[in-house]
């Protein structure tokens, strides 16, 4: 029997609020398709900010700052799909998610891109303003990590101000339903492809460490 597919959803809200409600809806949709959707609440984790070292653009090795982020990265690597879900704060991505993008992305993911070919989904939650901008920012980060984004209709932006409002945004939740269904379709398609071909590297084999050859001094050496 094949293992149950898994989606890990990163929740960038400070509270058990609208984003959590949206992810509970997403988990119910996933469960109907026999997919386990686990929400990882950043608010409950130990997450440092990026430090002053600033050597990320040169180092070919993961970050040395100790917090819970390596464990979250390991969870994402073990999953078939990843959802980034964040509220909009101050017309931008809520700071917990922004910090996570910096810590996980720059600290761990930029070297070998271990999330390559995971199926990605993006959800932003806002009263209204800049929901699209935050959705787009998170989308670019998924693409940066070479994840597969499936078209699922309108972007999964949910309009909600007060706690409980997400449940009232029918159109937003419909878009979340479509997103999870389409992610599941793609996860199943990729699993079928792996089964039929016996190949795990669905597309091109992972490139070498992205940072090697990019460090400033190495680039200068090449000139």
Q: What would the DSSP string read from start to end of 143-156?
A: HHTTPEEPP-SS-E
Q: Does 99 bind ligand FMN (CB under 6 A)?
A: no
| 117 neighbors 202 (Cβ within 8 angstroms) | yes
Nearest-approach distance from CB 23 to ligand FMN, in angstroms: 9
Binding mask 18-37 for ligand FMN (x = CB under 6 A): xx------------------
Q: Does 203 bind ligand FMN (CB under 6 A)?
A: no
Q: Does 89 bind ligand FMN (CB under 6 A)?
A: yes
Return the number of the residue (34 or 174) whose C-beta is nearest ligand FMN.
174
Q: Checking DSSP bridges between strand 92-93 and strand 6-11, what pairing results, if any? A: unpaired
Q: Does 96 bind ligand FMN (CB under 6 A)?
A: no
Nearest-approach distance from CB 165 to ligand FMN, in angstroms: 6
CA quadruple 51, 56, 59, 61: dihedral sign: positive
The CB density around residue 49, as the number of other CB atoms within 10 Å, is: 12
Q: Does 190 bind ligand FMN (CB under 6 A)?
A: no
Query: Cα torsion for 32, 43, 13, 36, to the nearest 10°?
Result: -10
How many residues of this chain interact with ligand FMN, rule: CB under 6 A?
Answer: 19
| 119 neighbors 187 (Cβ within 8 angstroms) | yes
User: Residue numbers of the site for ligand FMN (CB under 6 A)?
Assistant: 13, 15, 17-19, 87-91, 125-130, 160-161, 163
């Amino acid at each position: 029997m094949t293992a149950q597919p898994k989606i890990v959803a990163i929740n960038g809200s400070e509270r058990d609020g609208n984003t959590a409600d949206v992810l509970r809806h997403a988990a119910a949709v996933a469960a109907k398709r026999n997919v386990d959707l686990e929400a990882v609440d950043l608010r409950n984790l130990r997450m440092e900010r990026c430090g002053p070292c600033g050597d990320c653009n040169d180092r070919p090795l993961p970050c040395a700052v100790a917090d819970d982020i390596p464990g979250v990265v390991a969870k994402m690597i073990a999953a078939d799909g990843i959802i980034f879900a964040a509220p909009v704060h101050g017309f931008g991505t809520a700071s917990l998610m922004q910090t996570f993008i910096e810590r996980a992305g720059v600290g761990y993911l930029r070297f070998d891109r271990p999330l390559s070919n995971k199926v990605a989904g993006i959800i932003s939650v806002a009263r209204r303003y800049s929901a699209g901008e935050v959705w787009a920012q998170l989308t670019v980060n998924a693409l940066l990590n070479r994840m597969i984004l499936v078209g699922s209709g309108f972007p999964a932006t949910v309009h909600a101000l007060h706690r409980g409002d997400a449940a009232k945004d029918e159109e937003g939740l419909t878009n979340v339903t479509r997103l999870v269904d389409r992610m599941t379709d793609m996860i199943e398609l990729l699993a079928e492809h792996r089964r039929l071909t016996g190949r795990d590297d669905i597309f091109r084999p992972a490139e070498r460490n992205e940072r090697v050859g990019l460090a400033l001094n190495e680039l200068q050496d090449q000139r």
